[in-house]
């Protein structure tokens, strides 16, 4: 039987993957430092290590204990927009964390890496982004993801392991952090409504994204165990605007479409139209949109209402200037 390590197992996507693997009868291990994930997301049905991947000595010790055969690497500070205002931390938890992990993992003779990269690596090209388009990152988070992708190709060639690079986009659903004001618009809008704060929209709200409900993407993440050495987009088929998303979330949360919205200047380096092709994921991973974004939003809204309104993270970004959105400061504008 293979030992499968899931990094970021206390996070949103990682917790779903770890539990699905346990459900298949796999021997599963987790690594998470709880910086972005939560203890509630850890089911307790497998062993996990509270290891900080940015600390190479801690990682070496943990990998020596687990000696995994297969690694799903999801741990990351994935705040794309905020990465310009905390570039060191984002690099420590992405590129450095990857190197801290991959060296001991190779040393103890693993077989395969499944890495969740991101649609962000395509940058500002014309959508839909297909896997054969070049990497054209326009922000620090995406630069990290692209550097990891390229490093995987180099190291897999020299050290002879298999890999799958997944490029998800705009995943949302139950277990996603409702407290992080720096990322995940669906969760942020839901918590804003529960906190009776306005919905802040950057620019005119006509940005387009294809929102991907977790239970639609999960089977494809798991099926990546069965293929090798491919790069694949995974996620929703249907792009919608942020304004339309706000309408759907208001309806699902049971408030009027006239719920207050505050339009702010566009976020620096935000790509306006970003969505991906899905044909390769259908062909190789059997991707199917069974729930879809509308029903997914309703399911998440029911869960969010059960969780209730949450305090926003109090974290202060180290590099602040006038280009930083006001919503990322230490106080929430227009708070009740």
Ligand X SMILES: NC(=O)c1ccc[n+]([C@@H]2O[C@H](COP(=O)([O-])OP(=O)(O)OC[C@H]3O[C@@H](n4cnc5c(N)ncnc54)[C@H](O)[C@@H]3O)[C@@H](O)[C@H]2O)c1
Residues that bind ligand X (CB under 6 A): 8, 10-14, 31-37, 52-54, 74-78, 93, 97, 116, 118, 168-171, 177
22 vs 326 by CB, closer to ligand X: 22
SS3 content of the chain, % helix, strand, coil (to 5): 40, 15, 45
Q: Is the sign of the CA dihedral 40, 41, 46, 50 positive or negative?
A: negative
Task: Provide the residue count of the chain.
Answer: 336
62 vs 259 by CB, closer to ligand X: 62
Least distance in Å: CB of 145 to ligand X?
7
77 vs 259 by CB, closer to ligand X: 77
Least distance in Å: CB of 303 to ligand X?
15
Which DSSP string do the residues of 227-258 spell out, in sequence order? --SEEEEES-S--EEHHHHHHHHHHHHT--TT
Phi, psi at 5, each rounded to 5°: -100, 130
Least distance in Å: CB of 294 to ligand X?
18
173 vs 325 by CB, closer to ligand X: 173
137 vs 259 by CB, closer to ligand X: 137
Least distance in Å: CB of 180 to ligand X?
7
Number of C-beta neighbours around residue 88 at 10 A? 11
Least distance in Å: CB of 167 to ligand X?
7
What is the rounded CA–CA span in Å between residue 233 and residue 59? 29
Least distance in Å: CB of 123 to ligand X?
14
Which DSSP string do the residues of 62-78 spell out, in sequence order? HHHHH--SEEEE-----
What is the rounded CA–CA span in Å between residue 313 and residue 317? 11
Sheet holding 27-31, edge to edge: 47-49, 27-31, 3-7, 70-73, 112-116, 162-168, 230-234
What is the rounded CA–CA span in Å between residue 221 and residue 225? 8
39 vs 302 by CB, closer to ligand X: 39
177 vs 224 by CB, closer to ligand X: 177
Residue corresponding to tokens 């006038």:
322
Least distance in Å: CB of 260 to ligand X?
26
């Amino acid at each position: 039987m293979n030992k499968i390590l899931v990094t970021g197992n206390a996070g949103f996507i990682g917790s779903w993957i770890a539990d699905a693997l346990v459900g298949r009868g796999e021997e599963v291990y987790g690594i998470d430092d709880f910086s972005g994930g939560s203890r509630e997301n850890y089911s307790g049905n497998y062993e996990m290590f509270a290891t900080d991947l940015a600390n190479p000595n801690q990682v070496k010790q943990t990998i020596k204990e687990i000696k995994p055969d297969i690694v799903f690497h999801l741990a990351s500070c994935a705040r794309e927009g905020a990465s310009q205002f905390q570039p060191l931390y984002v690099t420590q938890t992405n590129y450095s964390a990857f190197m801290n992990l991959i060296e001991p993992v190779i040393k103890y003779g693993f077989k395969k890496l499944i890495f969740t990269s991101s649609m962000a690596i395509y940058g500002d090209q014309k959508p839909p982004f297909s896997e054969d388009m070049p990497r054209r990152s326009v922000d620090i988070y995406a630069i990290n993801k692209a550097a990891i992708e390229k490093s995987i190709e180099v190291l897999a060639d020299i050290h002879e392991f298999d890999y799958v690079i997944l490029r998800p986009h705009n995943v949302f659903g139950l277990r996603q952090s409702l407290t992080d004001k720096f990322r995940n618009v669906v969760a942020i809008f839901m918590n804003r409504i529960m906190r009776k704060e306005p919905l802040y929209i950057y620019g005119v709200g006509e940005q387009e994204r294809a929102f991907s409900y977790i239970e639609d993407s999960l089977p494809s993440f798991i099926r990546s165990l069965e293929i090798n050495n491919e790069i694949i987009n995974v996620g929703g088929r249907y792009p919608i605007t942020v304004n339309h998303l706000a309408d759907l979330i208001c309806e699902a949360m049971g408030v009027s479409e006239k719920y207050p919205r505050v339009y702010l200047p566009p976020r620096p380096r935000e790509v306006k139209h970003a969505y991906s092709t899905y044909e390769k994921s259908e062909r190789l991973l059997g991707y199917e949109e069974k729930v879809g974004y509308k029903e997914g939003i309703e399911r998440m809204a029911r869960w969010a209402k059960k969780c209730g309104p949450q305090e926003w993270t109090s974290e202060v970004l180290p590099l602040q200037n006038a280009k930083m959105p006001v919503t990322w400061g230490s106080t929430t504008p227009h708070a009740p």
